[in-house]
């Protein structure tokens, strides 16, 4: 019985080591693992009343969304999903180790400023695309 538990623990440790080796270090950009997909006819209305008639779904790293496009802007929500929709992009001040692109979406969990309804910007280096701006994602009209 003891031997079985030891073997299971070793197997779990080895699997974690192998899986961990395939993942990038925190904050490092990744290449796209699946292409972005444009969804026409999907409607979103943000907290300001801005209306969007489509979105683009891309792979991403879970992260905090910021109210504005700079690293010290207040965090309004958290994006927990790893494949999310985005309605537009704009440039801003790059976060450490990142680029100056930011993608606008609605987070999964509101953490501050409930009036913003979770809408915020994901730093571009956390979107898993080969180049920026991400294919199909339009520039924000207010950018």
Q: What pTM did the predictor assign? A: 0.77
pLDDT band at 6 (very low <50, low <70, confident <90, very high): very low
CB 119 within 8 A of CB 86: no
The pLDDT score that the predictor gives to residue 38 is 97
**143 pLDDT tier (thresholds 50, 70, 90):** confident
Convert the pLDDT of each residue in 17-66 to its tens digit. 333 333 344 444 444 478 999 999 999 999 999 999 999 999 999 999 99
Beta bridge partner(s), residue 43 = none
Q: What is the rounded CA–CA span in Å between residue 26 and residue 6?
A: 30
pLDDT at position 97 over 70: yes
How far is residue 54's CA from residue 98's CA, in Å, rounded to a whole number? 27
| Euclidean distance between CA atoms 24 and 97, whole angstroms | 13
pLDDT score of 67 more than 90:
yes
Which DSSP state fits 60?
B
The residue behind tokens 């080796």 is 21
Mean model confidence pLDDT for the chain = 82
User: In this predicted structure, what is the pLDDT of residue 83?
Assistant: 97
* pLDDT above 70 as % of the chain: 78
Exposed / middle / buried, residue 102 (Cβ in 10 Å: 0-12, 13-18, 19+): buried
């Amino acid at each position: 019985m003891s031997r079985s538990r030891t073997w299971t623990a070793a197997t779990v440790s080895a699997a974690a080591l192998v899986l961990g080796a395939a993942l990038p270090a925190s904050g490092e950009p990744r290449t796209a693992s699946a292409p972005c997909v444009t969804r026409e006819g999907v409607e979103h209305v943000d907290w300001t009343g801005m209306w969007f008639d489509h979105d683009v779904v891309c792979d991403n790293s879970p992260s905090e969304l910021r109210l504005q496009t700079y690293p010290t802007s207040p965090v309004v929500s958290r994006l927990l999903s790893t494949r999310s929709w985005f309605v537009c992009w704009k440039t801003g001040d790059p976060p450490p180790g990142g680029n100056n692109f930011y993608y606008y979406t609605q987070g999964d969990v509101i953490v501050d400023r409930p009036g913003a309804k979770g809408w915020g910007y994901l730093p571009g280096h956390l979107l898993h695309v080969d180049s920026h701006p991400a294919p199909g994602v339009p520039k924000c009209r207010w950018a």
